[in-house]
Amino acid sequence: MRAALPDPANAPELFDGILTRRVFAWLIDVIAMSALLLLASIVGVILGFFTWGLGWAALPIALPAIIIVYYAATLGSSHRATLGMRMMDIVLTPTQGRPMDGPVAIIHAVLFWVSFWISWPVSLAVALFTPRRQMAHDLIMGVMMVRRSPMQRHWQTVRMQTSTPI
């Protein structure tokens, strides 16, 4: 892990209510993805009538692809946040110095859904016992969630402290 990572003891505002914010962000994202999936399903059903069933055959491929593209386009963007995360003022931050791009965002999302399907209480319990409130898939991927607005102030402070000569 990077040495300059925020510590909950020194910067508690970065982690204030992070688990609650993550839950609400997830609910918002589920609604957004459901709307996209419903729209794609309607288009696929209508196209199925005009293409003698090819539209229907494409749905099992198109629907998961929509979810993957949603995460790649949102988490893999410069915002490093889905629509729900942006609304809840949280951001996904790498802890191991690698960039946050589309492939990392997709793998993070896949690990999240797999851990959620297997046992969401365990994933949440892991977050309760880690100092930075990281879930199991966050620890595996080397990322953490922090609040965006306090994070920007934190990194400005870190930059000013490291740039001023002692």
CA distances 118 to 34, 68, 84, 92, 140, Å, are: 21, 19, 23, 22, 16
Look-up: residue for tokens 């102030």? 153
pLDDT (average), residues 83-89: 96
Look at residue 145 and give its three-state secondary structure: strand
Instruction: Render pLDDT for 16-46 as a digit per residue (tens, 0 to 9).
Output: 899 999 999 999 999 999 999 999 999 999 9
Instruction: Render pLDDT for 42-53 as a digit per residue (tens, 0 to 9).
Output: 999 999 999 999
Q: Report the distance separating Cα 35 and Cα 38, nearest Å.
A: 5
Look-up: residue for tokens 């790649």? 72
* Residue ranges per structural domain of the chain: 14-159
Secondary structure letter of residue 29 according to DSSP: H
Alpha carbon distance, N-terminus to C-terminus of the chain: 25
The predicted model scores a pTM of 0.82
Q: Report the distance separating Cα 39 and Cα 45, nearest Å.
A: 10
Alpha helix positions (H), the chain: 18-50, 54-74, 83-87, 102-129, 136-141, 148-163
